[in-house]
Structure 1
């Protein structure tokens, strides 16, 4: 019964997290005005910026703290180890929803491409390609391990958890973090770039750069020289930006 409850918990966490990602994508797409981040300003600009800084800081701190090894060890002293990843996913999903839904618009347009033009459709195509890269990259790692379902499913089957092997395939042959590259592509490539969207994109970019540095240290600890060699041969976030060694 306990194992079934853990698996159910991981399914709920997954559903919340995945729904929050879909909500995020739609909110920055400008395709559904009612949930778009590019609505009319509701509060003074200074308060809006302060609000947004607090939101992105909370989101970043949660990820940085809960993803660290010392926190995982602390967590598993009081809670079952199989639900550790699902708990991270659950809190990430909740905070992502809060981040997007409470992000305060500021107003102002940086650029706006005329609808129904070739460039308009090209930018939207790149926008969705970015988010598709993010999703596909999660499966290349192991989507269900990344979101905590594999851990509790193995527990439900009375099988020990086995860490994932280090593999370099598909997008990972060109960039070390294609998942983040897809995220950034989706955030920056848009037919309509408002000041609100720009600040959101900048905030997410800063979060990704800082978070990736911590993640890289964990990967070196886990995979050692194998990952160090990978670091030397592939760029971190942008494909084809690392010159091959002579």
Structure 2
């Protein structure tokens, strides 16, 4: 019964995540059918709205980073079943995003407005590409492990959890963090950049760059081969010319 409960908890946490992910696309993309999106008419003074938005982004960043650290996980799994740790992280991240969606305050103002049809089409395509790259990248590194489903499924079967081996499939051969690259496309590609959207894009971009530093620190500890991978493959911007070291190795 306990195994089944943990499994259902994992399924429920994933369902909340996926619904939140879909809403996030509409939230950032300002889909008109949604009750709240990133833009809209300001409802309070600029300073008050700015403080609320920054605090909401900070809450998500702190939760997302702290709960992902190995030291926190070691303490956290003394309270909750180890198999449910990832699902709980996913659930809390989703709840932090839901709070952000609900309490977000538009600031108003226009930074840029692209009227050219081709320009709008290009930016909207970049927006769609970004979200697709995010989802695609999760499947490259095992979508079901990343969001806790593999963990709860294995414990339901009574099988021990085994960590995934280090691998660099698909887009991971071009950049070390294609998932984060997808976020950059999703947050910055818009034909209508408001002050609100700019704040969101700036803060999340800074957070992503800081998160990469922490994540790579953990990866270097967990996977000795990551050091060589980091030397060979760029962080976010692909280079299609092979590094001199790689060319020398192939020549030898």
Q: TM-score range by the shorter chain?
A: over 0.9
Task: State the shift of 1:21 in Å.
Answer: 1.5
Alignment of 1:1-246 (within 5 A): 1-32=1-32, 34-114=35-115, 117-224=117-224, 226-240=225-239, 244-246=243-245
Task: State the shift of 1:35 in Å.
Answer: 2.5
TM-score scaled to structure 2, two decimals?
0.93
- Is the Cα–Cα contact under 8 Å of residues 52 and 105 in structure 2 kept in the other structure? yes
Task: State the shift of 1:145 in Å.
Answer: 0.4
SS at structure 1 position matched to 2:228? helix
User: Judging changes above 3 Å, is the alpha-carbon distance between structure 1 residues 242 and 22 closer, same or farther for their aligned structure 2 residues?
Assistant: farther
- Is the Cα–Cα contact under 8 Å of residues 26 and 35 in structure 1 kept in the other structure? no
User: Judging changes above 3 Å, is the alpha-carbon distance between structure 1 residues 46 and 126 closer, same or farther for their aligned structure 2 residues?
Assistant: same
TM-score scaled to structure 1, two decimals?
0.95
- Is the Cα–Cα contact under 8 Å of residues 41 and 106 in structure 1 kept in the other structure? yes
Q: Number of aligned pairs?
A: 244
- Is the Cα–Cα contact under 8 Å of residues 235 and 241 in structure 1 kept in the other structure? no
Task: State the shift of 1:54 in Å.
Answer: 0.8
RMSD between aligned alpha carbons? 1.6
Taking the aligned partners of 1:156 and 1:150, their CA distance within structure 2 comes to 10
- Is the Cα–Cα contact under 8 Å of residues 235 and 242 in structure 1 kept in the other structure? no
Cα deviation per residue 1:89-137 (whole Å; 9 max; x = unaligned)?
Answer: 000000011123322111111111227x122112111110011000000
